[in-house]
Structure formats: structure tokens, C-alpha cells
Structure 1
Amino acid sequence: MTKKLTGVFLVLLGLFATGTAAVAAPPPSGSTDPVGNDVSWPQCGKTLPVSPAFAIVGVTGGLANNTNPCLAEQLAWAGKSSTGGTSQPRVAVYVNTANPGHSGSWWPSSNTYANVTVSNPYGTCGSGGGGAGPVDLPCSYIYGYAKAYDDATIRGVTNPGTYFWWLDVETGNSWQAGTQDATALNRATLEGMATYFKGITAGKKGPDGKPAGVGIYSTGSQWGTIAGTVPPGSPLAGLPSWLAGAKTLRGAKSNCSLPGLTSGSSVAVTQYVAAGLDYDYACR
């Protein structure tokens, strides 16, 4: 995951890379602890570790509405190379998230997406007669649901219900801001995504027997800026947290003791960077 490198410019850079080389990468600080890696479009054609304990592969290509051009190759690498031995699935996936409102390439006009009428806890998303609906809670929820639906159905993930899906929530993507209800609108989008992924993963397990599901990747600061405080009844409450921000394995281990991103959440994974790659530590 490129936590600081987002935007159209970088997406375009990523399109020039093809293929994935699965050869040895330098170990993180000489540690013998089992650690994983997360990869996506910035790693297209670059050196990847031979035997991470677990791997988390980006489905999207830096934005909430595009695809990682190396997704198939990287999922194959993850399935072949990951050794297991931690609390985390050998292979998981993550997706970029956003709430661009009317500045995006698409915005919903009803509670129907892909010929399915979506149950909407916020009411009816409606345009009042043609065109996109308002940037309100109902339409924000449908936008999130739609992005999750696309991630699971059109980007090339086989058997999407058997994966654990991480929602990548970063300030580098497009979010509502500057209004009193901005964080509520952003939460509604993330709730729509979480609800969709909960629906397709409920009661399912991956090939290694680990439960499928959904969690949240962010830092405490970025999460607070984007989503604010999550009420206990939200679909986001209690989801496992994957925390970024550490610079060393020692720091990543320490971050396991931080609070989760939402009420009732615990920190399941922490991330740090070494030798130009993202490494991940399983807290439990």
C-alpha cells in the first residue's frame, strides 16, 4: 500500500508497470518474527518477497473506482508465496475508499444498483427527477455499497465472499469536508461498503480456514478527520483495525496496544515500512 502516494499522477505511473517479480526482498531489520506484506499497483513489475507470512493485495488502483492492473499476478503471488502461521488469512485484499460527491465520475440517483434495490438505513436516495441524487446520507450510503459491489464483482476477484476485505481509509482520497455533516456523509459511504462486504462474507472462510469478513485500515488521525466518531450501532463499530504509521517492526508491535478505530474494535494488524516495502505484523 502506498500510504503517502495517491492521486491521478501516481495512477498513471502505475499503468506503465507490468508483471510481478516474485524474488527475495531484504528482510525487515533482520527480524525472525513472522510478518506479512501488502502490495498493489505501485509494486507492478517490482521485487516482491518470496515467503511472507501473509499477504494483503490491493484490488483497486489507488482510487475507489479503478482496478489494480496487476491484481491477477499479485493474487497468484500471494497464494503461492504466503506461508501462514499467524492469526491473519494467508491472503486478504484491500480496497481504496472515497466519498467524492458530485465531483466524482458517478453518483447514485436511487436506491437501486446493479438491478438490486438496496436496503438503505438512511432512507431514499433520490434525484427528484433525472440526474444524480443529492450529496446526502442516503445517497452516500448507496455510493459506498456500489463501490463495494464493483470491487467484488467486476475487478477480477474470484470467490470474493471467501476473502477478508480491508477498507483503506486515507485523507489522500476524495472525501466530503468543510461542512457540519461531512464526517457523517463519509461514514455513511463506509457503512454502505462494510454492509455489502459483511453480506457476501457472512459465515464463510478462506482456503486456509480463516474467517472472511471486513475491517478498516487507517491511522487514528486520518480516521478521525474523515469519519469522526462512530456510533455504537453503526456497521463500522467493532470492525477489526489495521493501523498504519509505524516506521519499524518494534513500532508496529507497540501499535498493537493502541485503541481500535471504532467503538468495540481491536487492533488486528499493524503496518511499517522497510527496504521500500510495506510490512505487516499480526497482533493477535
Structure 2
Amino acid sequence: MRSSARGIGVIALAAMALLAVPATASAAPAEVGYDVSYPQCGDDLPRSRAFVVVGVNGGLSTRANPCLSEQLVWAWGSSGKADGQPRAQLYLNTANPGQLMERVVTWPESGATPYGDCDGANSTACSWQYGWERAQNSVVSFFTPAARAARVDSQPARYVWWLDVETMNTWQFGSSEALERNRATLEGMTEYLLSRGAEVGIYSTDEQWSEIVGEVADDSVLAGLDSWLAGSVTAEQAADACADDPLVPGGRVELSQYVPGELDHNLSCR
């Protein structure tokens, strides 16, 4: 997962565990964290890492990261020496393809939601149900089998789950109702993760969040979630971004991502 400086993001790099380590990677400070996912399966990653955020999906919420097991092993081998950041964290790709639902086989046809019953239409209710089902599928079908295969903790409640919100994925646009439906999707994902005892946060930039979601009301389940901010290139910029406003009311900036080269780095903002 990667978001360019204050702009459109690109999915971050991935890795295999326990491979040879390039000399340039080992020079990173011991407190630095990384985020990885499917694009770099088989690449070398640093031995020294304080924490790792692993992408559960393969670019789309309907696809699994084929290297998830190996990357979970690598993540759990982190030192945990970054201001209390959990050694292994996770992120999910997010989207709302309701405006293209005729071509989306995973669009829900039913379900009781906080916005009423889903009837298969491009509605706020079905958007919420779509988010719930995508999070459920990511946890049950992708994460749990991979964690068990890796012989690491497979309980969702043992992880922080970040929702990756970027304009490169499919979202609804063009009206306040579209923003409401996008918010509902993220609310549905959040509600499912909370029902499993997980901690939930949001990864994005201010610009992308405003374009996709807009304002979040104080009574939304999204209010109070922590933020992982993208958009920096250097460690200094990332440290400065820790003082930026969170993406939602009541939250705090927890992580700040910077991309000095090919591998995404992260600082703890605690």
C-alpha cells in the first residue's frame, strides 16, 4: 500500500520471510516499521524491523494476498521496539463498486443493516452490507487460514486492522449520497472487525479521504478511529505529519508512512 505525497496511492510492497537481506535495507533505524503486501512476493526484506503492517488482500478486497503466510511470519519476527506498536498489524483493501453493481458478483442481495434492509440495490444499506461481507471474507477466508499455516496468532482481536482508503480502488462519486454510501461501506467493515474484538484504524491522505468519504459525523462508528497518514517521502516529513489532524473526529494520528525508495517505511506517532 502506498499513497503518493498528498495524492493518489499505490498498493505497498510485499515480501517473503527469512530470505537474504540487502545491505541497503539493514541500515534503517531499529525503531522503523514497514508495510508489505503482495506485489513483492519473493523480495528480500530487512532483518531489523520494529513492526510490520501486512496486507491481507491482493490489491482488491475480493482477492487474497498469496504471500500472506510468509509475510505474517516475517511480521511476528519484528522487535516491537517502536513506542508500543504491536509487532504484527494488518491492513485491508477497501472499495465500494455499487455504481457498477451489475458487473460485481459479490454485491449483496440481502441483509439487515443500521440503514435498513439491503434489497440488492445501490443503496446505503447494501453499501454497509458489502463492507461487512468483504471484511468477514477477508478475515475468515484469507487471514485465518494464512495465520494458521504460518503458525502465528490467528485471533483477529490480537491485531490492529487498518482500512486502506485510496482513490485507486473503485468508489462511488458525484454526489453527497455517493459519499454517504462510501462511508457506509467503511462502517460495515469496521463493525465486523469490532465484532471480532479487533482494533480498527484508517490509512489514507487528507485529500483522498475527503474525496471518497467526506465529513464523518460524531455518531458514526468511524469517529474516534486512529489514523495512519500517507504522503511523506522522508523520515523528517513523516515526523512532522504526526502533528497533522486525524482523518476523523475523536481519533489520533498513530502512524506516519514515508517512502524513501522502494520500500514503505513507517514511524510511530506515539
Q: TM bucket by the smaller chain? A: 0.7 to 0.9
Aligned-partner Cα distance in 2 for 1:270–1:194: 21
Query: Does the CA-based 8 Å contact 2:54-2:91 persist in structure 1?
Result: yes
Deviation at 1:81, TM superposition (A): 3.5
**Equivalent of residue 209 in structure 2, options 220, 223, 243:** 223
Q: Which is worse superposed, 223-232 or 153-162?
A: 153-162
Aligned-partner Cα distance in 2 for 1:82–1:44: 22
Name the aligned partner's letter for residue 107 of structure 1: W
Q: Tell me which residue corresponds to 1:204.
A: none
Q: Which runs of 4+ in 1 moved over 4 A?
A: 17-21
Confirm or deny that 1:104 pairs with 2:91.
no
Q: Tell me which residue corresponds to 2:53.
A: 56
Aligned-partner Cα distance in 2 for 1:22–1:236: 38
Distance 1:85 1:18, change over 3 A: closer
Q: Tell me which residue corresponds to 1:180.
A: 176
Q: Tell me which residue corresponds to 1:124.
A: 117
Q: Tell me which residue corresponds to 1:262.
A: 248
Name the aligned partner's letter for residue 176 of structure 2: Q
* TM-score (norm. length: structure 1): 0.83
Aligned-partner Cα distance in 2 for 1:50–1:188: 40
Query: Does the CA-based 8 Å contact 1:160-1:200 persist in structure 2?
Result: yes
Q: CA RMSD in A?
A: 2.1
Aligned-partner Cα distance in 2 for 1:84–1:265: 23
Deviation at 1:33, TM superposition (A): 6.3
Query: Does the CA-based 8 Å contact 2:80-2:86 persist in structure 1?
Result: no
Correspondences of 1:205-244 after superposition (within 5 Å): 212-244=198-230
Aligned-partner Cα distance in 2 for 1:214–1:83: 19
1:151-176 per-residue CA deviation (whole Å, 9 max, x = no partner) reads 11000332222211000000000001
Confirm or deny that 1:136 pairs with 2:123.
yes
Secondary structure at 2:143 match in 1 = coil
Q: Tell me which residue corresponds to 1:253.
A: 239
State, as a whole percentage, how many aligned pairs show the same letter.
Answer: 45
Confirm or deny that 1:283 pairs with 2:249.
no
Deviation at 1:87, TM superposition (A): 2.6
Distance 1:74 1:98, change over 3 A: same
Q: Tell me which residue corresponds to 2:188.
A: 192
Q: Tell me which residue corresponds to 2:149.
A: none
Q: Tell me which residue corresponds to 1:95.
A: 92
Distance 1:265 1:156, change over 3 A: closer
Deviation at 1:31, TM superposition (A): 6.1
Query: Does the CA-based 8 Å contact 1:21-1:46 persist in structure 2?
Result: no
Distance 1:40 1:76, change over 3 A: same
Deviation at 1:147, TM superposition (A): 0.5
Secondary structure at 1:68 match in 2 = coil
